[in-house]
Amino acid sequence: MTRSVADLLFRPRSIVVYGASSDPDKLSGRPLDYLKRFGFSGQIYAVNPRRPEVQGIRAYAKVADVPGPVDLAIVVVPAPAVVEAIRACADAGVGAAIIFASGFAEIGADGRPQQDEISAIARRTGMRVVGPNCLGSFAAEDRAFATFSTAFDEDGERAVSPIALASQSGAVGTFTYSTMNAVGLGVTYFANTGNEADVTVTEILSALVDAPDVKVLMGHIEGCGNMEALATLASAARERGKPLIILKSGRTPAGARAVAAHTASAAGDDTAFEVVLTAHGAIRVPSMEAMADTALALVDGRRAAGRRLTIVTLSGGGGALAADRAVELGLQVDTWASEQDRSVLAAELPYFGSTMNPIDVTGAMINDLSLLERTLRIVSDNEDTDAILVLLGNADRGSDEIVATLIKAHRATNKPFLVAWTGGSGRPRTALLQAGVPTYTDPHRATECMSRVIHVDLPST
């Protein structure tokens, strides 16, 4: 039985590094180093005609000499040697090959024929090809680090979240990964597809849509020739309740020129792209930062039953900013219908706060923290509240207790619960993130993420 592209890339039984160097600092030496150092669970081989052994791994002169089936070949030879290597891999029955080298269709007529030849080999033989012009892939569990990127070469424990991130741009992928790391998120599967001579971002995410260890799918796309495949992916993701977050370049002529120079992609009709995403409830984001922000809001799997957002703030001014943005994005920020809840709140809040939504607990909260605790309990139980946004800021002084109160309140409800903590040292924010409370630096960013959480299951208005 043929293995899926996800199995070959992320759960390979064996990996061969084609052209492996003995210097682990060189691009062509890094994959072997990573596979060994991070403890890849399958078989590792090298192909190197000049040495019997590379970095302690048995090397073969030709890929055909490698014993047993090879699921994945990491091709690290320079561009002029790539077509021959790919042909040899296909002839040897390799399942999939990743090509790092640049210098193909993205440089124009000088590189296009070689890339076309690679595509033709893939089509003819059934061997799957990732790249060229990519930095590879990795799977956290199997430790299949088929990459030369130093972005994953971290000391200490690597955060793993139930997220698949596939990107057409290597740097956008690793920058996004690193931005996610900064808020405590990792990924389970990562792949960069580059010029997409064969395998696309859409195909990789489609192959992972049923994976039980993936709850959020993230894709960066430069070209999109296959709208049908995109629609199928988006629709499958929605059916399974797995948010699909898409960052797409090439909306403008300058952007389209840039993606053509970068991965030889045709950016295509942006309106058509947008229509497909919107029709199937996928989430389009404008930036890498927004991509990471959005994953943070969605990864805990909480979903809102409706559009009614309750904002709890110690800053009336911050509450107004968030309320404006929320309403612009189609959320409801209304005074509660429940008179009983309103009167209980009125009894809790000092006379200069507001029991209307946004609920302003004011700076008095700092001196009497139970005020925040009691307010959040009422909000969690309130039937007119589908999602909760808490706005705080500065004030390291006393922040440990505030953080503890927020963590407790977050755990006590199943409603989406996002926090913005603006300014200050960053210490309270870090503590909240470590406890799994999605926390942002600015009410505006938090509100935009909240609208995405709410719109996963509800069409935008």
Residues numbered 106 to 135 that lie near a second copy (CB under 8 A) are 106-107, 110, 133
Whole-angstrom distance, CA of residue 326 vs CA of residue 323: 5
In the complex, minimum distance from the CB of residue 286 to a second copy, in angstroms, rounded to a whole number: 6
The residue within the footprint of a second copy, chosen from 225, 317, 340, 427 (CB under 8 A), is 317
Q: Is residue 252 a contact point for a second copy (CB under 8 A)? A: yes
Tokens of 168: 């057409």
Q: Kindly give the interhelix angle for 170-181 and 288-298, rounded to the nearest 10 degrees.
A: 50
Cβ distance to a second copy smaller for residue 48 or 263: 263
Residue (121 or 291) nearer to a second copy, CB: 291
Instruction: Write the single-letter amino acid at 351.
Output: Y
Closest approach of a second copy to the CB of residue 334, in Å: 7
Q: Which segment (88-96, 166-174, 374-382, 401-409) binds a second copy by CB under 8 A?
A: 166-174
Query: Which candidate, 130, 112, 43, 118, places its Cα nearest to that of 88?
Result: 118
Closer to a second copy by CB, 10 or 177: give it: 177
Give, in degrees to the nearest 5, the angle at Cα 202 between 199 and 203: 50
Q: Which of residues 334-393 bind a second copy (CB under 8 A)?
A: 334-335, 351-352, 354, 356-358, 360, 362-363, 393
Binding range to a second copy, per CB under 8 A, among 3-11, 162-170, 300-308, 340-348 = 162-170
In the structure encoding, which two tokens stand for residue 405, read together? Answer: 């109160």
The beta strand positions in 184-328, using DSSP E, are 189-192, 216-221, 244-248, 283-285, 309-313
Instruction: Rule CB under 8 A: say whether 460 interacts with a second copy.
Output: no
State the minimum distance, in angstroms, from the CB of residue 104 to a second copy: 9
Judged by CB under 8 A, the residue of 37, 143, 377, 444 near a second copy is: 444
Q: Show Cβ contacts of residue 252 under 8 Å, excluding neighbours closer than 6 positions.
A: none
**Encoded amino acid at 404, one letter:** A
Contact positions with a second copy (CB under 8 A) in 208-227: 220, 222
Could you tell me which stretch among 174-182, 207-215, 224-232, 271-279 binds a second copy (CB under 8 A)? Answer: 174-182
Are the beta carbons of 311 and 391 closer than 8 angstroms?
yes
Please say whether the beta carbons of 247 and 172 come within 8 A.
yes
Contact predicate 295/185, CB 8 Å:
yes
Per CB under 8 A, which of residues 182..211 are in contact with a second copy? 182
Closest approach, Cβ 393 to a second copy, in A, equals 4
Interface with a second copy by CB under 8 A: which range of 46-54, 67-75, 258-266, 405-413?
258-266
Q: Least distance (Å) from a second copy to the CB of residue 175? A: 4
In degrees rounded to 5, what are phi and psi of residue 35? -60, -40
Q: Which stretch binds a second copy (CB under 8 A): 46-54, 235-243, 259-267, 272-280?
A: 259-267
Q: What is the DSSP-derived secondary structure letter of residue 14? A: E
Angstrom distance (rounded) from CA 452 to CA 181: 21
CA-to-CA separations, 124 to 7, 66, 89, 129, in angstroms, rounded: 20, 22, 13, 12
Minimum distance between the CB of residue 370 and a second copy, rounded to whole angstroms? 20
Query: With CB under 8 A as the contact rule, which of the stretches 69-77, 122-130, 297-305, 417-425 interacts with a second copy?
Result: 417-425
